Amino acid sequence: MKFCSHCGSDALRFDVPEGDNRPRYWCPACGTVHYQNPKVVVGAIPVWEDRILLCKRAIQPRKDYWTLPAGYMENGETLQEGAARETWEEACATVNISDLYTVFNLPHIWQIHVFFLSTMVDERYGVGEESSDAGLFLPSEIPWDQLAFPTVSRTLRYFLDDRVRGEFPLRLQDITAKPIAGLRD
C-alpha cells in the first residue's frame, strides 16, 4: 500500500498500531488501520448422474489445468450463492447447492477454500469466460495429474470415497506450506 484509501495520505506506516498485536498498514494522518484478511474461495462439486463437472482454467494461476468450478466470494453474497455463481460463470451450469463438504485453511497464501455438494439442475453446461473447456467426467476419467489445486484433488478423492459409503462428512483441514516471498494467490 502506498496511499491511505480513507484520507489519501502517502504517509502510511507498516508496524504495530497502538492497541494491536501485529504489524499492519495504518495511516498516522487519520488513524485508519488497513486490515488485510484472508480471501474466501468458494466452489461446488457439480454432479449429474454419475459424472462430475470440471472446468479447464483459461487464466492463471494454473492455466490449462482442470478444476472444480470455484472462485473468490463477492461482497453481499452467501457461501452458497457464491458457489452457484461460480459454477454458472465457469461452466454455464445451474446447480442446487447442498451441504458444506470441505473447508481448507491455507494460511500461507491467505485463503480459505470451501466446497459444497451440489447437483446439476439439468445436463446443460458450457465454457465460461475463465474456462477454456468444461466436461462431465466419470470417476475413471478424471484427469488426476492435470488438476489445478491440492484442494480440488483432495475434495474429489474424498467425494468419490464417500459416495461409495453413502456418507458425506464435513471435512476441515489445514494445508500449510512455506510461503514463497511475494506470492499471495
- Give the integer Cα–Cα distance in Å for 9 and 154: 45
Give residue 177's pLDDT: 77
**Topology given in CATH for the domain delimited by 39-174:** Nucleoside Triphosphate Pyrophosphohydrolase (3.90.79)
Looking at CATH, the fold of the domain delimited by 1-36 is given as: Ubiquitin Ligase Nedd4; Chain: W; (2.20.70)
Distances (CA, A) of 76 to 73, 82, 95, 175: 9, 10, 20, 27
Residues 90-145: tens digit of each pLDDT: 999 999 999 999 999 999 999 999 999 999 999 999 999 999 999 999 999 999 99
Distance between CA atoms of residues 11 and 8, nearest Å: 9
pTM: 0.87
Residue ranges of the chain assigned to CATH 2.20.70.10? 1-36
Q: Could you give the residue range(s) of every CATH 3.90.79.10 domain in the chain?
A: 39-174
Q: Please work out, in degrees rounded to the nearest 5, the angle formed at the alpha carbon of residue 71 by the alpha carbons of 68 and 75.
A: 145
